[in-house]
Structure formats: C-alpha cells, structure tokens
Structure 1
Amino acid sequence: MIEFLKSFLWIALELTVLFIGISFAISLLQGYIPYEKIEKKLTGRNKVLASFAAILFAFITPFCSCSTIPVVVNMLKKKIPFSIVMVFLFASPVLDPTILTIMGVVMGWKVTIIYTVITSVFSIAIGFTLDKLGFQRYVKNVIMSGYEEKNQKFNWRFALDETWSLMKSVYPYLIIGAAIGAVIHGLVPTEIITKWFGHDAWWLIPVAAIAGIPLYIRLSSMIPISQMLILKGMALGPVMAMMISSAGASLPEVILLKSIFKKQLVIAFIASVITMSTVSGFVFYFV
C-alpha cells in the first residue's frame, strides 16, 4: 500500500507540473495562431495543402473524441470538403499538443514522433479513402449547437482561463491514469505482464486495438498507464494500439456520430480507427 501511495504521488506530481506548465504555454501561443487563414486553407482547391491544414487545425484545437463532433458539424455546415472534415475527425482526438508533449517527456520523443507521424498519415489516408468511396452520401443533414470558435488575442487572463478549463475537463482523467499506473506499478507483479503481454505474439496487437474502443480511456489517462505497462514488460506494439484506438474512438463518440452519420459511415469510422491502431501497433512492433 505504501508503495502504491508513493508511486501515485510521484506520478501525479510529475504529470500535474507538466500539464499546467504546457497547457499555459500553449494557451498563450494560441493568441498568435491565424485561425482565419487556416480555415481558408481548409476550403481551398489544393486538397493536399488542405489536408495538412486539417492536421494543423486538429493539433492546435485540443479536443477529446466527443467534443470533436460539434466542430465537425460546424465544418460540414461551412461546406468544407468531406475528405478534409474526415481528416480532422480522425486526427483531432489523437493529436492533442499538451498530451503529446507529456508523452514525449514520459515515454520518449522517438515514440512520440513516430506516433504523431503515423496518426497524421493515417488520418489523411482514411479521410481521402472514405471520400473516394463516396461515403459523403451517408452524412445526415443535422444542426448541432454548443460550438464556439475561439479567436482570442494574446493575453495572460485568457491563457489562465484556458488552462483552468483544460484542468477541469482533462486533468481528472490524468489523475485516474496516474492511479491506475500506480496500481500496475505497485500491485501487479511484473511476471504476470511479461508472461501474458510481453512476448512477441502478433495477435495481441489487433486484440488491444479492438479492446481500446469500448474501454473509453482518454489519451491523457493512457500516458501514465502505458508508461507503467511498458516498464513492467508489456510489448510496445499492443500498448500503442490500445492507446490510439481508445483515443480515436469511444462508445460515447460512436453514439454522437450516429446522430450525424448513417450507420454505414459509423461502421466505416470504427473499422478505420481499428485499422489505424492495428497497423500503428505493428509499426511499433517492428521498430
């Protein structure tokens, strides 16, 4: 029990300092982001440039999978191309700048860079594939309220308010992840994890990718959990597959998507997330 408390307090303290400092810095920098120019790029004729703009927009707008949906509706209302909207939908939950920075400090920058590249490439590929296959016809004509565009100039008060807002929405999940990570570190024997999940069984990766979706473990929670699983001997491939699938799709998000997409597109979305997380897991498996 003492080992659990020591481990939890250390993980929680480390993550708290990182989270507050990084969130505040990013909130300050958001005052310099030209949102209007990015939006023009999203609607531009150059689809390649627009897709990169969607990735950038996903990166600078730290939303979880559920809060991404109102933004997607707003983008569809503004007649932004379906392929570009899909790129944003897949990229936004998995490319949170605060969490990526924490991932780099906790899990290493090599892992974080590979993760960022893989999720970005897959988001673009999936978005254009769904568009090419004509899935736009499965979008319902809906109107969703509750989304406000942020266009704030640089100021300290705004940065403090944004940091506090993120603290209320994301920080509890970070602490939950720290608690689970402490349990794994202090109470779960290393031998169990290395025996069942540490070997090179390829089938663990797709199983982890599928298991991640109903778990609804946010990316912020998965960072300390993943760190402890890896330290305990779990293979990196299944860990990253579960991390990507749990961040990229969740049961609450699927329910929300059902309100704006027909079932064909919802099924395609889930299959795409599982594919992205599975292939990503194999990349980490071989790397």
Structure 2
Amino acid sequence: MEQKKKFRLIATIAIVLPAMVALYTYLQPLVNYFTYQLLPLKQETHLGEAINFFFYDTIKIVILLFLISSLMGLVNAYFPVERLRVFLTTKKMFGLQYFFASFFGAVTPFCSCSSIPLFIGFVQGGIPLGVTFAYLITSPLVNEVAVAMFLGLFGWKATLIYAGSGILLGMIGGYILGKFKLDKYLSDWVKQIQQNSQMEANQWDNEKTPFIDRLPAIIADGWGIVKKVLLYVIIGIAIGAAMHGYVPEDFFTEYLSEDKWYAIPLAVILAVPMYANAAGIVPVIQVFVAKGVPLGTAIAFMMAVVGLSLPEATLIKKVMQWKLIGIFFGTITIFIIILGYLFNWII
C-alpha cells in the first residue's frame, strides 16, 4: 500500500473510531435531546417513546454491527480458527464445547440483534453449527447487567436459577440443533461468506501480508455485512419500537396474573412480538411479579422477549432459511416453556 494511503487510513481510523465510541457512550442523551427537544414530541406519549426507542436502538446496533463485524474479520485474519475448528470437531470434549460457547454468550453484553455478527464470524470460521447455536441462544438471554439487576430485585436464588438455566438452555439447544445437521439451511449469502473466508484464509497463509495492508479489506468486509443486514435491522427495530411504545404493561399482567396452566405458553406467545435486551426487560419483570405474575412465568416471558422476538427473526432471515428459523425458534420455545414450569415449581 502506498505510504500516503496508509497515512490517510490510519488518520481516518484515529478519528472515526473514537467518534463512534463517544457516540455510543452518550447515545441515549443525544437521542433524548433529538426526540424531545428538536422534534415536537413529548416523553410521556406513546409516539415519543416509540420514536426514541427506534432511533436509539438503530444507531446502537449499527455501531455494534460494524465494530463486531470488523473485529471478527480481524480475528478470522489472524486467529487460527481452522485449528479451533479441528479441535472442536475431532477432540472428545464430552460436551464442554457447548458449555464454553454458551458461557461466552452469557458474558458478552450483546442483545439478539448484535449477536448476529459473531454468529456469522463463528460460521465463517468453520465452528460447528451446534456450538455456534449454543452461543446464539445464550447471548441475548443472559448478561452481567441483567444478572446484577436480577440479584438486586429478586435475590441470589432466583438469579442463580435465571443465569444457570440460560446457560443450560444454550448448551442443550445447541447440542440438539447440532445433531440435526442443519448447515444446508444456512442462507446462500452465509455459504458464500464461508467459501470466500476459506479462499482468503489460504491467501493470508500463503502471503505474509502486513496488518496495515489487510486492514482496508477487513473494514470493507465489516461495512459490507452492515449494509447487507441494515434493512432487516431497521424493520426489526421498527416492530420493537411500535410494541415498546404502544403496548401497555397491563395488557400482559391482565392475562398472566392468574396461576393458570396455560399462563406460561401464553406468556411466550405474547412475548414474541416484543423487542428488548435482558437488562431492559428486567424492570418490566419486576412490575409483573409485583402485580401477581408468578416469577417462573415472568422469567419465561423475559426469555421469550430477548430470545424469540420477531425483530430477531427478521434479522437472522439474512443468515438462515425460513425452515432453519422455524426449527431454531421451535426448539427454544419448547425449552423456555419447560423452564417456566420448572421455575414456578422450584421458586
């Protein structure tokens, strides 16, 4: 790469990267100012809340998509993913690979939509699909912020059950889905990414290309993924914003407050159109429990909101065919319902 181009690239990264981090850090106040000061919208109105939610989550997820996609491109360029793939597929790990993937999903602070780039990165690196699913299932369900909030609101016993069951759900779900041999139901776009990744990996192995020369391609690939999924992100967040702004909490508590046998399946069904991350839905769960909803039913609702949302389905449509989405959602739905009944029995 010419010296002048290298300098411009470094200067651009030095300006853009801190700017994106700063924007992400102060995004909520900026969106609040834009929504409630520059636009003629009131904070307590349904439309105001929906518009605020839409702008905040759209910008946040686009930033995360780009940063994570670029990071995974960097990892794929330098990390010996092929060795990891061989290790996971040839060594007798007795299921520990599913635990590691699920635990990694629990400690990474991503919602369902922003988990997709890592999912693509794992598939791109040749990680077995079942192990990848273990990550994808757990990542939105459990994170450290939600665990801390859960501990403060419901105590250590409920928190331990919530976090442990989220990891267990990822492990079992990933194992079962892995046994179905579902790679053929990945989208053509992801299959093409896999092929290109292998070609690029061979190229990088054969050529000792300096990092600064690889960087433009890595960034371009990261931005390419953002452009490919941007429409799905906008559609998904728009659905979530409408639900967030216009569906009152009393709508759910009215039907879930009674201890009826169908309360948990109904909670899961009602949760699917919603969209929120685990930390954002915990205060709502507190309201549910305070109004008489059993904690197990409330946790099942929370898991369905963050792990089975329609916005997530619109986004993962870019990486999976509809049949695979149906199998994925169906498996997780069954497990969440079972866990809900188990929670109500234990707690």
Residue identity opposite 1:98 in structure 2: V
Extract structure 1 runs of 4+ deviating beyond 4 A. Answer: 35-43
In the alignment, the residues of structure 2 paired with residue 209 and residue 111 of structure 1 have an alpha-carbon distance, to the nearest angstrom, of 19
Choose the corresponding residue for 2:131, options 73, 79, 84.
84
Deviation of the 1:254 alpha carbon: 0.7
Q: Could you say if the C-alpha distance between residues 197 and 213 of structure 1 is closer, same or farther in structure 2, counting changes exceeding 3 Å?
A: closer
Deviation of the 1:138 alpha carbon: 0.8
Deviation of the 1:280 alpha carbon: 1.4
Deviation of the 1:196 alpha carbon: 4.7
Residue identity opposite 2:269 in structure 1: I
Residue identity opposite 2:285 in structure 1: S
Q: Could you say if the C-alpha distance between residues 220 and 37 of structure 1 is closer, same or farther in structure 2, counting changes exceeding 3 Å?
A: farther
8 A Cα contact 1:142 1:260, kept in partner: no
Deviation of the 1:203 alpha carbon: 0.0
In the alignment, the residues of structure 2 paired with residue 39 and residue 244 of structure 1 have an alpha-carbon distance, to the nearest angstrom, of 33
1:202 paired to 2:261: yes
Q: Could you say if the C-alpha distance between residues 245 and 70 of structure 1 is closer, same or farther in structure 2, counting changes exceeding 3 Å?
A: same
Task: Quote the residue 1:105 is aligned against.
Answer: 152
1:237 paired to 2:266: no
Task: Quote the residue 1:270 is aligned against.
Answer: 329
Deviation of the 1:242 alpha carbon: 0.7
Report percent identity of matched pairs.
26
Question: Which structure has the higher relative contact order (CA within 8 Å, separation 6+)?
Answer: 1
RMSD: 3.2
Choose the corresponding residue for 1:145, options 197, 207, 222.
222
Q: TM-score, normalised by structure 2?
A: 0.56
Task: Quote the residue 1:95 is aligned against.
Answer: 142
Choose the corresponding residue for 2:287, options 228, 233, 252.
228
1:56 paired to 2:103: yes
Structure 1 gap ranges (5+): 6-34, 149-172
Structure 2 gap ranges (5+): 1-43, 45-74, 194-220, 226-239
8 A Cα contact 1:138 1:265, kept in partner: yes
Residue identity opposite 2:105 in structure 1: A
Could you give the per-residue CA deviations for residues 211-239 of structure 1, whole angstroms, max 9, x where no partner exists? Answer: 11111133222111111221121222321
In the alignment, the residues of structure 1 paired with residue 112 and residue 192 of structure 2 have an alpha-carbon distance, to the nearest angstrom, of 19
In the alignment, the residues of structure 2 paired with residue 58 and residue 240 of structure 1 have an alpha-carbon distance, to the nearest angstrom, of 18
DSSP 3-state at the match of 2:317: helix
Q: Whose radius of gyration is greater, 1 or 2?
A: 2
8 A Cα contact 2:82 2:126, kept in partner: no
What count of residue pairs does the alignment treat as equivalent?
A: 218
8 A Cα contact 2:103 2:167, kept in partner: no
DSSP 3-state at the match of 1:261: coil
8 A Cα contact 2:275 2:309, kept in partner: yes
Q: Could you say if the C-alpha distance between residues 106 and 48 of structure 1 is closer, same or farther in structure 2, counting changes exceeding 3 Å?
A: same
Deviation of the 1:204 alpha carbon: 0.7
Deviation of the 1:269 alpha carbon: 1.5
